[in-house]
Amino acid sequence: MSLLTLNRTLRPRFPASTRTPDVAPTATTEPPSTTRVAGTRRSPARRVRRRPTPLLVTTPCPLDRHSTIAGYMTTQAPGMRDQIAGQSVIEELLHLQQAMPPRSGFARFWGYSPLAAESVAWYRGAQGEIEVGRILGRLPPEWRVFHALPIGKASADIDHLVLGPGGIFTISTKHHRGKKIWIAERSIMVNGQKQPYLRNSKFEATRVTKMLRERMPQLPPAQAVIALVSPGQITIKKTPDAVNVLDAVSLRRWLLKQPGSLVEVDLVELEAIVDAPETWTALASLPNPSLMAKFAVIDSDVKTARVRRVSWTLLSFATVATLGVFVGLPLFNKLVLGIIGGL
């Protein structure tokens, strides 16, 4: 056997899996270990710099209704706090107005009302609830205000529910612009007609008290309030014992004067209960950002039509008066001359 043949026979053979791949080291490939010889410098090509792993630091922060975290928008689920003042009334008004044909140019010119006959009461009701909502919106931050809370069957709802240091208040809005209100212990009359306002208001407060005490038995009873918007005259023969009847302009001041009965801890828990849609027996309407915009269009049309009607009425009176002066003066002169000639 020759020396070349012996050398090939004794050469070690390695399996393919143990061979070092002929690739340059990458970020995911560990570079081969090297032994540094004293007095030599490491080649820059072999130096691998490892970047430190970034640390993700999170800090707890309270989330408002629209908070941005790590580039993502987080929003709270819709709750009863999203209901606007007069929401259910406005929805019914818009539903009725859908059947109303558009006004002609002639009707607009002469100031005909854009409201259908059956829509007038709903329109005035919406005006009243929106006005009371503005008044309640000026309460201090420790007061919580909810609007149009569905309760009972059909379309029944609580106009406003107020939670504050002074207690729990169910507020029913009645818009009777310029009308005479007569209040007795067990009845209310509007322009001489008896209304079931006291009975309905007491029922709402009793029902809310029962519902909330199922979750918080220690709560004080809800107080029933009737807020009168723009009344002409209020006559109180005897104050009702279970319902507070007020002019809406004094509502905020009256609420702030109520003695304290709820602490902040109770108010936070109570607010969460009221805000939860499942608390209420009926389904609430979904928040509709365009609802107020649609009502504003109707409100503007109604007010514009009223201004036109008043303007045409005044112009008619002025025209008649002017004609009376020009026509009546010659007749008056003839009458005076006739009297003088007869003397």
pLDDT at residue 100 greater than cutoff 90? no
Could you give the CA distance from residue 182 to residue 157 in angstroms, rounded to a whole number? Answer: 25
Average pLDDT, the chain: 79
Query: Binning pLDDT at 50, 70 and 90, where does residue 267 land?
Result: very high
Of 142, 163, 145, 278, nearest to 219 by C-alpha is 163
Query: Binning pLDDT at 50, 70 and 90, where does residue 45 land?
Result: very low
Query: Binning pLDDT at 50, 70 and 90, where does residue 320 land?
Result: low
Of 160, 180, 157, 178, nearest to 170 by C-alpha is 160
pLDDT at residue 88 greater than cutoff 70? yes
Could you give the CA distance from residue 127 to residue 121 in angstroms, rounded to a whole number? Answer: 10
Q: Which of 67-81, 280-294, 308-322 has the lowest mean pLDDT?
A: 67-81
Could you give the CA distance from residue 169 to residue 159 in angstroms, rounded to a whole number? Answer: 11
Higher pLDDT, residue 148 or 285? 148
Higher pLDDT, residue 50 or 58? 50
SS3 169: strand
Residue-level pLDDT at 154 = 66
Exposure class string for 253-290: b at 16+ Cβ within 10 A, else e: eebeeeeeebeeebbeebbebbbebebbeeebbeeeee
Over residues 150-169, the pLDDT tens digits come to 987 767 899 999 999 999 99
Higher pLDDT, residue 310 or 60? 310
Q: Which of 34-38, 107-111, 202-206, 331-335 has the lowest mean pLDDT?
A: 34-38
Determine contact, residues 181/233, Cβ cutoff 8 Å: yes
Over residues 177-196, the pLDDT tens digits come to 999 999 999 999 999 999 99
Q: Which of 12-26, 179-193, 308-322 has the lowest mean pLDDT?
A: 12-26
Highest mean pLDDT among 5-19, 133-147, 281-295: 133-147
Over residues 230-254, the pLDDT tens digits come to 999 999 999 998 999 999 999 999 9
Burial class (CB in 10 A: 0-12, 13-18, 19+), 197: buried
Take residue 77 and report the two structure tokens written for it: 């689920």
